[in-house]
Amino acid sequence: MQREQGASLDFLRIRPSEPMLFVDKAEIARCVTYRQAVRLAWDMRRPRGMTMRTLAELCGMYPQHVSSYLHEDALMPSGAPRLNLPAEKINAFEAAVGNYAVSQYLNHLGRLTIMQEVIAAQRVA
């Protein structure tokens, strides 16, 4: 298994083809931090019974890191910061949980809609 490297999205071939969900804008707007958006995506995961260990295996991450990414508190009891979901794992994470909450949150932060991004790209090209 690939761990903490470029995980393959091949696992999608063995999952039932379910459409990815867009999360309600109000839910995204309630997320104040990136960690909250990642936790929202996890809370809305499909299948509901997926464990953190399964998520780690599907995304090629260490299970200990996944529990850190999904922990409610950004700081450990010692005061050290917890790990955040790395940017290069967002696609695999969203494919595994079945929703776009993290990407929607990042777009919300930039105040961009997907259509605005497409229009801007067309102007440059």
**Which among 2, 16, 111 has a CA at the least distance from the CA of 56?**
2
By residue range, what is the domain housing residue 38?
A: 21-124
Structure tokens at 102: 């993290």
Distance CA 88, CA 7 (A): 9
0.85 surpassed by pTM: no
Bigger pLDDT: 113 or 72? Answer: 72
Q: Is position 54 within any domain? A: yes
pLDDT for 66 equals 98
Instruction: Kindly tell me if the per-residue pLDDT of 33 is higher than 90.
Output: yes
pLDDT band at 10 (very low <50, low <70, confident <90, very high): low
pLDDT for 8 equals 53
Instruction: Kindly tell me if the per-residue pLDDT of 68 is higher than 90.
Output: yes
Q: Is position 83 within any domain? A: yes
- Say if CB 97 and CB 20 are below 8 A apart: no
- List, for residues 57-66, the tens digit of each pLDDT value: 999 999 999 9
Residue 118 sits in a domain whose CATH number is 1.10.260
* Count of the separate structural domains present in the chain: 1
DSSP string, 1-59: ---SS----GGGGTS---PPBPPPHHHHHT--SHHHHHHHHHHT-SSTT--HHHHHHHH
Q: Is position 15 within any domain? A: no
Structure tokens at 86: 């790395």
Instruction: Kindly tell me if the per-residue pLDDT of 1 is higher than 70.
Output: no
For residue 107, the surrounding DSSP H or E stretch is helix 101-109
pLDDT band at 124 (very low <50, low <70, confident <90, very high): confident
- Say if CB 2 and CB 8 are below 8 A apart: yes
Distance CA 108, CA 110 (A): 5
